[in-house]
C-alpha cells in the first residue's frame, strides 16, 4: 500500500456552490485525457472517503495508474491509499467548506490486456471516447441514509471534439447540464466518436437508442440492427409480459486492436455495450446470441436478479432463456438451440472445475478460464432441467416462462431489490415440490454436482441420450417443439 499526500495546490480557485449539486462535475475532453473538475459541497463534515476503480469490474488491478494530476483546492488536503489497483482517496477540509478536486483520466489500455483492456478501461483517442462510470467518477463512501439525498451534476466544456452519448441521459448530446441523485450515475457508460450514429426506436413507453460507429462502407449495419432490435426486444417484452422502463441503450462498436475475438459485451443499467471484430455486426448465430443475451439482462440480471454470488441465475438463466426465445421467434432454427445447449453441457461435464462449489466461483472469477464460464454453464443446465420438469409435471400447462413470471412478481413485491435464494425456492415451488427443489439447489448449485438427467424429465419432442457420460438432447418432433415453446 502506498501513501501519498497532496497539499493544497489550487488556492486561487473560486467556487460557485450556491444551488449546485453536492457533487458537481465538469468535463473537458481532448485526445490526451478526460480532464475532470469536481466541485464538492461536503455531505459530511471534516472529511470524505472517495474510491476510484473497482477490482470486481473486469479485474483491472492497476486502473488507478490512469489517474494523473490529482489535486485539491485550499484549504483541503488529500491522502491516497492504493490497494490492488483501486484508489482510496481521503479528502480533508475544515467543517463543511466547499472544495474543488481535479484530476485527469487517461487511456492506459494496451494490446497485451486483450479483450478486458478494451472492455473495462477508459479509451481516449483523437476520434473516439469510451468509459464506464467506475473509471471516471470518484465514488463517495457515504452512510446509507445519506445516499438518496446526495445530488450529482455533470456538464461538458465546449466545444466537444465529437458527439457524446451518456446512457443516463441519452437525449442529451453534452450540451445541457444533467442533475440527479448520485446513485443513479452508477452502472452507466459514456461514449463518443467522430462517426457515432444514434437512432431512436420507441417500443411501447420505452425510448430505445441504437448507438453505432459507422462509416460509408458499413452503413448497411444501421437498418439491419434496427430490424433485429425491433423484432427481438418486442418479443422479449411479450415473453415477460412486462413493459417497465424509460430508456434503453444498445451500443455496438468495433474493437480497436483485436481481430482474434468475435465479440464481447457488458450489460449496464438499462443498456448493453458489445464490441466486435469485423465490419458486419449480425454476422453469425454467435454474434446474435451475444447481443440477445445482453439485451435479455434487462430482465434476468436487472429487474430480476439474485445478485452477487448467484450468477448461475443472472447469467445461466439468461443464456437459457435467450436460446429459448431466439428459437421461439424463428431467429434460431431448432437445431441451433440444441447445438447451443449441447455445447454448454459438454463444456460443463468436461471441465476440470465442474464440481467447484458455488461459493468458490466468485472469488476466483477474474482468474478467468472455466471459473468465468461456470455460472453460465451450471445455470443453463439447471434452467434446462427445471424447464422440462415443469413442462412434464404440468402436462405442458407451465414452463420456464411461468417460473420467470413468478420471479418477476417476487422482485416487484420487493421493490426490485435482489431476490434471495429463498425467494427463488418459493417461486419454483409453485410448480415443483419444495423439498425436491431445496435438495436440487443444494446439490446442483451450492455443491456443484452434475445433474443426472433422465428421459422422464423431458417431454416427448425431446430425446435424451448420453455420449461418453455427457448428456445430449435432440428434438425429435420439430413441429410439436415449436408449438410448445411459442407464446403470444
- Predicted pLDDT at 145: 61
Collapsing DSSP states into helix, strand and coil, what is residue 373?
Answer: helix
Per-residue pLDDT reduced to its tens digit, 402-460? 999 999 999 999 999 999 999 999 999 999 999 999 999 999 999 999 999 999 999 99
Q: How confident is the model at residue 343 (pLDDT cuts 50, 70, 90)?
A: very high
User: Would you say residue 366 has pLDDT above 90?
Assistant: no
Per-residue pLDDT reduced to its tens digit, 221-250? 999 999 999 999 999 999 999 988 889 999
- Predicted pLDDT at 86: 66
φ/ψ (deg, to 5) at 83:
-140, 115
* Cβ proximity of 427 and 322 under 8 Å: no
Residue listed under C-alpha cell 448520485: 182
Q: How confident is the model at residue 368 (pLDDT cuts 50, 70, 90)?
A: low
Evaluate if pTM is beyond 0.75. yes
- Predicted pLDDT at 19: 55
Strand partners, 104: 35, 68
Q: How confident is the model at residue 108 (pLDDT cuts 50, 70, 90)?
A: very high
Contacting residues for 426 by C-beta, under 8 A, at least 6 apart: 410, 434
Q: How confident is the model at residue 251 (pLDDT cuts 50, 70, 90)?
A: very high
Per-residue pLDDT reduced to its tens digit, 255-282? 998 888 888 888 888 899 999 998 899 9
Instruction: Report the pLDDT averaged over residues 29-56.
Output: 92
Q: Is the dihedral of CA 86, 90, 96, 102 positive or negative?
A: negative
* Cβ proximity of 271 and 250 under 8 Å: yes
φ/ψ (deg, to 5) at 48:
-140, 140
Task: Check residues 148 and 131 and name the one with the higher pLDDT.
Answer: 131
- Rounding to the nearest 10 degrees, give the CA dihedral for residues 62, 63, 66, 67: -110
Element holding 463 (H helix, E strand)? strand 462-467
Q: What percent of the chain has pLDDT over 90?
A: 73
Cell of 470: 455427457
- Predicted pLDDT at 264: 87
Task: Check residues 15 and 273 and name the one with the higher pLDDT.
Answer: 273
- Predicted pLDDT at 321: 97
Per-residue pLDDT reduced to its tens digit, 286-322? 999 999 999 999 999 989 999 888 999 999 999 999 9
User: Would you say residue 4 has pLDDT above 50?
Assistant: no
Per-residue pLDDT reduced to its tens digit, 163-199? 999 999 999 988 899 999 988 898 899 999 999 999 9
DSSP 118-164: HHHS-EEETTEEEEEGGGTS-EE---GGGGGG-EEEEEEPSSPSS-E
Residues in the chain: 488
User: Would you say residue 94 has pLDDT above 50?
Assistant: yes
Rounded-to-integer distance, Cα 170 and Cα 462, Å: 44
Rounded-to-integer distance, Cα 41 and Cα 21, Å: 7
Rounded-to-integer distance, Cα 418 and Cα 435, Å: 23
Rounded-to-integer distance, Cα 211 and Cα 200, Å: 9
Rounded-to-integer distance, Cα 152 and Cα 139, Å: 11
Domains in the chain, CATH or no CATH each: 2-146 (2.60.40), 196-296 (3.30.2010), 311-485 (1.10.390.10)
Amino acid at each position: 500500500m502506498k501513501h501519498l499526500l497532496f497539499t493544497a495546490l489550487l488556492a486561487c480557485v473560486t467556487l460557485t456552490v450556491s444551488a449546485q449539486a453536492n457533487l458537481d462535475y465538469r468535463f473537458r475532453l481532448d485526445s490526451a485525457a478526460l480532464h475532470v473538475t469536481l466541485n464538492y459541497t461536503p455531505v459530511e463534515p471534516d472529511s470524505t472517503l472517495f474510491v476510484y476503480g473497482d477490482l470486481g469490474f473486469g479485474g483491472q488491478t492497476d486502473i488507478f495508474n490512469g489517474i494523473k494530476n490529482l489535486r485539491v483546492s485550499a484549504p483541503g488536503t488529500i491522502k491516497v491509499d492504493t490497494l490492488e489497483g483501486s484508489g482510496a482517496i481521503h479528502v480533508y477540509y475544515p467543517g463543511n467548506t466547499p472544495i474543488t478536486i481535479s484530476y485527469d483520466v487517461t487511456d492506459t489500455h494496451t494490446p497485451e490486456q486483450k479483450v478486458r483492456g478494451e472492455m473495462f478501461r477508459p479509451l481516449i483517442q483523437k476520434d473516439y471516447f469510451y468509459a464506464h462510470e467506475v473509471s471516471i467518477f470518484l465514488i463517495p463512501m457515504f452512510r446509507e441514509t445519506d445516499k438518496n439525498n446526495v445530488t450529482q451534476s455533470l456538464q461538458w466544456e465546449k466545444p466537444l471534439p465529437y458527439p457524446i452519448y451518456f446512457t443516463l441521459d441519452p437525449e442529451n448530446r453534452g450540451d445541457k447540464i444533467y442533475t440527479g441523485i448520485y446513485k443513479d450515475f452508477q452502472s452507466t457508460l459514456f461514449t463518443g466518436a467522430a462517426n457515432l450514429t444514434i437512432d431512436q426506436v420507441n417500443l411501447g413507453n420505452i425510448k430505445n437508442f441504437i448507438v453505432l460507429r459507422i462509416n460509408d462502407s458499413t452503413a448497411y449495419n444501421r437498418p439491419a440492427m434496427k430490424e433485429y432490435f425491433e423484432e427481438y426486444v418486442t418479443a422479449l417484452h411479450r415473453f415477460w409480459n412486462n413493459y417497465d422502463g424509460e430508456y434503453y441503450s444498445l451500443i455496438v462498436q468495433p474493437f480497436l486492436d483485436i481481430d482474434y475475438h468475435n465479440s464481447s459485451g457488458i450489460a449496464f443499467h438499462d443498456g448493453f455495450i458489445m464490441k466486435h471484430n469485423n465490419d458486419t455486426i449480425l454476422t453469425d448465430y454467435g454474434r446474435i446470441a451475444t447481443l440477445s443475451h445482453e439485451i435479455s439482462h434487462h430482465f434476468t440480471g436487472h429487474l430480476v436478479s439474485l445478485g452477487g454470488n448467484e450468477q448461475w441465475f443472472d447469467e445461466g438463466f439468461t443464456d437459457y432463456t435467450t436460446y429459448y426465445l431466439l428459437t421461439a421467434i424463428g431467429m434460431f432454427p431448432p437445431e441451433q438451440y440444441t447445438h447451443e445447449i449441447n455445447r454448454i453441457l459438454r463444456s460443463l461435464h468436461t471441465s476440470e472445475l465442474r464440481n467447484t462449489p458455488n461459493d468458490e466461483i466468485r472469488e476466483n472469477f477474474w482468474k478467468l478460464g472455466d471459473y468465468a464460464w461456470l455460472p453460465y454453464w451450471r445455470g443453463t443446465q439447471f434452467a434446462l432441467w427445471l424447464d422440462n420438469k415443469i413442462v412434464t409435471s404440468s402436462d405442458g400447462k407451465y414452463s420456464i416462462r411461468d417460473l420467470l413470471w413468478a420471479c418477476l412478481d417476487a422482485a416487484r413485491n420487493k421493490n426490485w431489490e435482489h431476490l434471495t435464494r429463498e425467494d427463488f425456492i418459493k417461486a419454483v415451488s409453485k410448480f415443483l415440490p419444495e423439498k425436491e427443489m431445496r435438495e436440487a439447489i443444494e446439490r446442483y448449485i451450492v455443491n456443484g454436482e452434475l445433474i443426472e438427467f433422465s428421459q422422464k424429465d423431458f417431454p416427448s419432442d425431446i430425446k435424451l441420450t448420453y455420449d461418453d457420460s455427457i448428456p445430449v438432447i435432440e428434438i425429435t418432433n420439430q413441429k410439436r417443439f415449436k408449438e410448445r415453446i411459442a407464446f403470444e
